[in-house]
Amino acid sequence: MGILEVKNVSKNFGGLKALSDVNLSVRENTVHAIIGPNGAGKSTLLNCLVGKLIPDTGSVMFDGQSVLGRHPYEINQMGISRVFQTPEIFGDLTVLENMMIPILAKRDGTFELNALTSIGSQKDVIERAEHMLEEMSMADKRHFHSGSLSRGDKRRLEIAMCLSQEPRLLLLDEPTAGMARADTNNTIDLLKQIKEERDITIAIIEHDMHVVFSLAERITVLAQGTPLVEDTPENIKGHPKVREAYLGE
Ligand code: ADP
Ligand code: MG
């Protein structure tokens, strides 16, 4: 059994079937990619995993526990952390200040910005944030304005913020979207490093096949809200249905 088990999940938006009968099993400590054309339902599926959307039918189990009906912050506390399609950092804050946010966040998922102004008394928080930045090779940028970082470094910071919560499952929605090749390659290396150094499962939605084939151990192809096939990268590459439906051949 996988650490994440999705069974018969369907989600409609009005008359539109965004997901129909989706099954997905993500094995612990693997990198599992979910690919598929635009509008296939990938982000909708991710939203169902983190409590942003509630499926109309089906079940979502994480480590044997149902996530359905739970608040996003509860699911986060269960060990699922998610990186959004567009970076969600505060551009006006420094790298270090952003890094402190998830460490300072209250157990109910709320955060008061003025907590940052009393940081003199939060030495341990600063230390933890600095330690995390060191692990992520960002220590030299800790006083930079986050808004001035490259796309790759914004993503790196955001991933660091997620990892500070020590998730067991990291979800990423198109983490390299809009990146130049160098930043994309840095992101690939970063995710490889994270995988090597931690007990973590990674599920990644990705458009860039170079990223997918560099990282994934299993791949699920989603088309029109339904999984077309789930297999190893080698088998996916040669799969006629995939070539037809996804690669447009
Ligand atoms: P993907 O991430 O694979 O590109 P999405 O999950 O974003 O696909 O979208 C799947 C389908 O559901 C698309 O047709 C999209 O327009 C539709 N959709 C997504 N979110 C909503 C929403 N909140 N309301 C209505 N339709 C939506
Ligand atoms: Mg999407």
59 Cβ inside 6 Å of ligand 1: no
For residue 111, the model assigns a pLDDT of 64
For residue 10, the model assigns a pLDDT of 98
Q: Once rounded to an integer, what is the mean pLDDT over residues 166-183?
A: 94
- pLDDT > 90 fraction of the chain, expressed in percent and rounded: 78
Residue 172 belongs to some domain of the structure: yes
**Span 8-67, pLDDT tens digits:** 999 999 999 999 999 999 999 999 999 999 999 999 999 999 999 999 999 999 999 999
Task: Spell out a b/e string for 136-154, using b for 16 or more CB atoms within 10 Å of the CB, else e.
Answer: bebeebbeeebeebebbbb
Answer whether 190's CB lies under 8 Å from 156's CB: yes
Q: What are phi and psi of 231, to 5 degrees?
A: -165, -175
CA of 41 to the centre of ligand 1 (A): 6
**Span 104-155, pLDDT tens digits:** 876 555 666 666 666 555 788 899 999 999 999 999 999 999 999 999 999 9
Residue 9 belongs to some domain of the structure: yes
52 Cβ inside 6 Å of ligand 1: no
36 Cβ inside 6 Å of ligand 1: yes
Residue 41 belongs to some domain of the structure: yes
Residue 75 belongs to some domain of the structure: yes
DSSP 115: G
For residue 101, the model assigns a pLDDT of 87
CATH number at residue 76: 3.40.50.300
For residue 121, the model assigns a pLDDT of 55
Residue 10 belongs to some domain of the structure: yes
State the residue range of the domain holding 72: 4-88+155-245
Residue 149 belongs to some domain of the structure: no
Per the structure, how many domains does the chain have?
A: 1
Residue 94 belongs to some domain of the structure: no
- Does residue 161 surpass a pLDDT of 80? yes
- Does residue 249 surpass a pLDDT of 60? no
On average, the pLDDT of the chain sits at 91
Residue 117 belongs to some domain of the structure: no
N residues, the chain: 249
